[in-house]
Amino acid sequence: MDSKSNSPTVDRARIDKLLDDHNINLTRQRRLIADTLFARHQHVTAEQLFEAVKNTGARVSKATVYNTLGLFVRKGLVREVFIDSSRTFYDSNTSHHHHFYNVDTGDLIDIKERLAPHFVDSDLPAGTAMEIVDLVVRVRNSS
């Protein structure tokens, strides 16, 4: 963390390369959003990202944040993790993995173990092949 701003140090060269490798034209707003989103591995909602960018003193609209996240998803820079009809997280770790979602705290956490999708193989409809298994395990605090 940068002691002056209380935010993670941004590796601009890494982020520039990431955006360039995915053919994303760099605008000032996209730079601010990318710097905040890719400064570290995180799971954020669009609203949380908007607030984080706003807290840097930058002026970016919610629509710009939503549009940029949509672009990043289409280009494969972030994964959408759907919790329910009103809550979507954006995961800066695009490797295949699963999640725990704490319904009490609203935290989304990576599951470290890679879960094998064997339970699905036997029930696949005829003429289909498995593409991917996205799993969100909902948990509650025990006390």
Binding site members for Fe cation:
96
Can you tell me the distance from the alpha carbon of 46 to that of 65, in angstroms, rounded to the nearest whole number?
Answer: 7
Dihedral, CA atoms, 52, 53, 54, 56, nearest 10 degrees?
90
Closest CA to 94 of 64, 74, 119, 113: 74
Query: Which residues are documented as binding site?
Result: 96
- Report angle CA 46, 112, 117 to the nearest 5 degrees: 95
Output b/e per residue, 109-135; b: 16+ Cβ within 10 A: eeeeeeeeeeeeeeeeeeeeeeeeeee
Give the pair of three-digit tokens for residue 75: 């280009």
Give, rounded to a whole angstrom, the gap between the first and last alpha carbons of the chain: 32
